[in-house]
Chain A
Amino acid sequence: MKKNLFLILLTFHQTIFASTVSVKKDGDIRADPSNSATVVSTIKNADKVLILGRKGFWVEVKFGNSKGWTKISNLDIKDDNNSGTSDGLSVLSGLASGRVGTGNIVSAAGTRGLDGDQIKAAKNDEVQFKNLTNSRVRPEEATSFAKAAGLNSRNISYLEPPVPNSTDQPVTNN
């Protein structure tokens, strides 16, 4: 009974926070988020899949009767032009269900945000700047702090910039 209730609630949760997106590139749906995992189904351009979760650069999807993982790059997760559905991944952020943040920081600045006008009207605050620089740390301190948490450096090269798409239009801010 309890198990059934849990499954119902889980399904309900996934229904609320799931989102349907289009497939933009043919690809596989695998049993696990790994290139070596078993292929359980395939998806083709323009197919619709239901997003259920994300792990790294993989997304858990439901397609027909199949359920599994595919790479985000196979999907078009951009805003689907006011169709009423949420952006593919925003539903997975946790914000949709109010579950984000550690709760260890509460602003004392009230509700008004920092906008352009405030910045334009601002005067240099040298005391604040001094306080800022007082919190600066030495590289050795930072390295020790990283090692204390078990962080290890990796030797990774930068990615090559993508080849420009001739159909791309420049972005302008209005």
Chain B
Amino acid sequence: MKFFLTSLLFCIFFVPSVGHAQFGDLLKKLPGGLSVDSKEQSKPSDKSDSKPINDQGMLGGLLNLGTSSQGENEEIEIGRGITSTILGAAKLFSNNNLQRYVNLVGQNIAQHSERKNLPWTFGIVDTPSINAFAAPGGYILVTSGLFAILDTEDELAAILAHEIVHVNKKHHYNIIQKQKMVEFGSKFMSSSLGKDDKTGISKRLINMGGELIARGLDKDAEYEADRDGVILAARAGYDASAMLTVLSKLQAKARTKGDESMKLFTATHPTPSDRIQALSDQMTDEIESYAIPSTAAERIKKSTK
């Protein structure tokens, strides 16, 4: 289970998209469900996603199929597990003001997207590695290594917007759904699924994680997150070109000899310069007119106070 979850973490900044509508439709028609209410989850004050997470609970979620609402519950449940696992490897950066700041910026951007009611949750994890993680259901983590090279709130907004698109487009969740249905579709539809069956399926789901890593990620999902992320950030009032600034910095870091902070990032993702090129090639005059520093740009300097 752990391995399966960890594989999903490699959707960092840029997760592959394997959207297959037919599986989504099938999911909606199948019985089953989870215990988490998505409407309740949307309330920041709600603590239902703070309940203990265990493998049985997570596997229960992975093995259930249900209606559209239940599908969202499953998505949130999986995201909780993934996020909790990341936090087991990298603790939160110890500054409550900073954690609140990134939530304020991220939540505002999310409110300019199509999935406003997810339990959007943002955090900075303490590690020098440069990366960001998007987990299903609205959980987004940015490493302190990445935050440390940012100069403006516009740049932070660009990163958070990119991750929000990964969540909204279900880039990683769709991979889970697709592989689960491809391998176990008929079994999932069986009402006589026994305990041994579930155990076997669970083990296979764990192996899928390794396969995901070995197979590599779909670059189209990253380009889509870049493209839509620019729009989301601009909708929220930020500099539409801030992602170019971030990617320029990442490109420079990636080319710095002896710098290990982007090792995983560079091994699994399109190069920043390729992404800059793709993004630039798609810009319209309208978007370019929003490529100006926002009025909130300098606020990041007070984010820890």
Contact status of A171 and B216, CB under 8 A, knowing A119-B85, A159-B287: yes
A173, B103: Cβ atoms closer than 8 Å: no
Known: A109-B144, A156-B231. A95 touches B127 (CB 8 A): no
- Looking at the complex, which of B28-36, B172-180, B186-194, B249-257 is the stretch in contact with chain A? B249-257
Contact residue among B116, B128, B217, B286 (Cβ-Cβ distance under 8 Å from A107): B128
Q: Is B37 an interface residue (CB 8 A)?
A: no
**What is the chain B residue whose CB lies nearest that of A74?**
B280
Q: Are A104 and B303 in contact (CB under 8 A)?
A: yes
Query: In A116-130, which residues have CB < 8 Å from any B CB?
Result: 116, 118-126, 128-130
Which of A6-14, A39-47, A60-68, A85-93 forms part of the interface with chain B?
A: A85-93
Point out the residue from B88, B151, B213, B295 that lies within 8 Å of A101, measured CB to CB: B151
B18 interfacial by beta-carbon distance below 8 Å: no
Contact with A along B84-125 (1 / 0, CB 8 A): 111111111111101110011111101110001001111111
**B60 within 8 Å of A (CB atoms):** no
A102–B263 touching, CB < 8 Å: no
Determine if B128 and A111 form an interchain contact, defined as CB atoms under 8 angstroms apart: yes
Closest to B285 in A: A35
Shortest Cβ gap from A55 to chain B (Å)? 8
B91 CB contacts on chain A under 8 angstroms: 109, 125, 128
A142-168 CB mask vs B (1 if < 8 Å, else 0) is 110110011111111111011000000
Partner of B284, one of A76, A120, A159: A159
Closest to A146 in B: B108
B71 within 8 A of A: no
Considering only residues 63-84 of chain B, those with a C-beta below 8 Å from chain A are: 80-81, 83-84
Chain A residues positioned under 8 Å from B3 (CB to CB): 120
Which A residues lie within 8 Å of B254 (CB)?
A: 90
Q: Interface code B268-303, partner A: CB below 8 Å = 1, 0 otherwise?
A: 101111101110111111111011101110011111
Contact A54 B244 (CB under 8 A): yes
Are B263 and A172 within 8 A (Cβ)? Answer: no
Contact with B107, one of A109, A122, A139 (Cβ below 8 angstroms): A139
Flag if B126 contacts A94 (CB, 8 Å): no
In the bound complex, how far is the Cα of B234 from the Cα of A57, in angstroms?
Answer: 14
Q: Of B85, B151, B264, which one neighbours A124 at CB under 8 angstroms?
A: B85
> B232-272: which residues lie under 8 A (CB-CB) from chain A?
234-241, 244-245, 247-249, 251-256, 260-261, 263-264, 267-268, 270-272
- Do A96 and B252 have beta carbons less than 8 Å apart? yes
Which of A72, A100, A104 lies in contact with B304, CB distance below 8 A? A104
Contacts of A116 in B (CB 8 A): 6, 10, 213, 264
Q: Quick check: A124 and B90 within 8 Å, CB to CB?
A: no
Q: How many of chain B's residues touch chain A, expressed as a range?
A: 35 or more
Contact B149 A90 (CB under 8 A): no
- Does any Cβ of A come within 8 Å of B2's Cβ? yes
Main secondary structure on chain A at its contact with chain B? loop
Q: Kindly provide the distance from the CB of A53 to the nearest chain B CB, expressed in whole angstroms.
A: 11
Check: B163 CB closer than 8 A to any chain A CB: no
B235 and A154 form a contact (CB under 8 A): yes
Distance (whole angstroms) from the CB of A70 to the closest CB of chain B: 11
- Is A133 in contact with B121, judged by CB distance below 8 angstroms? yes
The answer to whether the Cβ of A5 comes within 8 Å of any Cβ in the partner chain is no
Task: Give CA–CA (A112, B149) in the complex, Å.
Answer: 17
3 tightest CB-CB pairs across the interface, nearest first? Answer: A56-B291, A173-B216, A151-B237
Could you list some 24 contacts between A and B, CB below 8 A?
A57-B283, A57-B288, A73-B277, A86-B255, A88-B273, A91-B252, A93-B248, A93-B251, A96-B252, A105-B95, A105-B304, A107-B93, A113-B261, A119-B6, A128-B88, A128-B91, A129-B83, A133-B50, A135-B100, A142-B106, A149-B296, A151-B236, A151-B294, A171-B218
Given A109-B90, A154-B237, 17 new contacts (CB under 8 A): A54-B248, A73-B281, A90-B249, A114-B127, A115-B263, A116-B264, A122-B6, A123-B85, A126-B50, A129-B53, A132-B83, A146-B104, A146-B108, A146-B236, A151-B238, A162-B282, A172-B216
